[in-house]
Structure 1
């Protein structure tokens, strides 16, 4: 296993890309690099895509009257991205309980071949009518579980927050 503190571009690029982008003038700041809000925006857009891929989408909200609410985020900025740099975002499901999902998004700088950012997320499945947590439906948990099993094929582990985790029901 790769040391979690030494996670590299090559480790993460084996995960399927969720989105691609290029740093442009509208995403840079006075320091001449991509502003943190745009790192976060790219990672959250990829996270939304991951949720949609397991069935938490507009139909889920409209028909089932459920959605995923963010409970926690932990972001790490690991390397700059400068004007013209190309990037991609890649995601990985880590764990779930009946009502919560834990996953990560990694932003890679394809130009410099570096791991630029990681975003760890904890989301809770919520009824949009009662605004209270509810179990994920079986089809959604099956898709999340399929994503979690992908972790077993990796030869590295994600560096996760020690305080963020799903709580399993007793």
Structure 2
């Protein structure tokens, strides 16, 4: 709750899937929108993209589901900027069930600065890099470390057991 709330609201009934909880497609949309809003606040606006032909592409999303949310849930999205290189930024978006006061989903996103004409990566413009750095420093000063759910792939014997159980191999 020490982070700025990016998005807030009740979950519409049409966002609930057949299992009775918030659909994964809306989870990704909601969390990615939160990350987008933080980048807009750092200067990556539609106007700037049109003027400079520079923008960002998301190159990675990793989700960790920690709990369910239903139509009775009031959600909020909080975003923490973890790090920045000359061309990329790493963000965590936390979807929080404010009714139950718990994090239900964490989305780790890696976003790369791009030239929209060549479609190649480029360094962030100095003014954008400066704004992102301000947010990184502010977030580094928080009294808590970000959680890092295991984002890795299944490997070795765990992978073999998974393939036998799920795929029947």
Q: In the alignment, which residue of structure 2 is the partner of 1:64? A: 52
> What is the TM-score when the length of structure 2 is the normalising length?
0.85
Q: In the alignment, which residue of structure 2 is the partner of 1:154? A: 142
State which structure, 1 or 2, has the greater radius of gyration over its C-alpha atoms.
2
How many residues get paired?
A: 152
CA RMSD of aligned residues (A): 1.5
- The 8 Å contact of residues 92 and 105 in structure 1, kept in 2 or not, is answered as yes
**For the residues of structure 2 that align with 1:99 and 1:163, how far apart are their CA atoms?**
22
- The 8 Å contact of residues 120 and 160 in structure 1, kept in 2 or not, is answered as no
- Counterparts in 2 of 1:160 and 1:60: CA distance versus 1, 3 Å: farther
Compute the displacement of 1:159 (Å). 2.3
Compute the displacement of 1:21 (Å). 1.8
**For the residues of structure 2 that align with 1:162 and 1:27, how far apart are their CA atoms?**
27
Q: In the alignment, which residue of structure 2 is the partner of 1:126? A: 114
1:117 matched to 2:96? The reply is no
Compute the displacement of 1:153 (Å). 2.1
The partner residue of 1:48 within 2, 15, 36 is: 36
Compute the displacement of 1:33 (Å). 1.1
Structure 1 residue runs of 5 or longer lacking an equivalent are: 1-12, 165-170
- Counterparts in 2 of 1:79 and 1:163: CA distance versus 1, 3 Å: closer
Deviations 1:76-122 (A, max 9, x none): 11111011210100111111111111111101100111111111111
* Aligned structure 1 segments of 4 or more residues deviating by more than 2 angstroms: 159-164
Q: In the alignment, which residue of structure 1 is the partner of 2:5? A: 17
Q: In the alignment, which residue of structure 1 is the partner of 2:96? A: 108
Deviations 1:120-162 (A, max 9, x none): 1111100011111111011100110001001232121112367
**For the residues of structure 2 that align with 1:40 and 1:163, how far apart are their CA atoms?**
16
Q: Which has the higher contact order (CA 8 A, sep 6+)?
A: 1
- Counterparts in 2 of 1:55 and 1:161: CA distance versus 1, 3 Å: farther
- The 8 Å contact of residues 65 and 105 in structure 2, kept in 1 or not, is answered as yes
Q: In the alignment, which residue of structure 2 is the partner of 1:94? A: 82
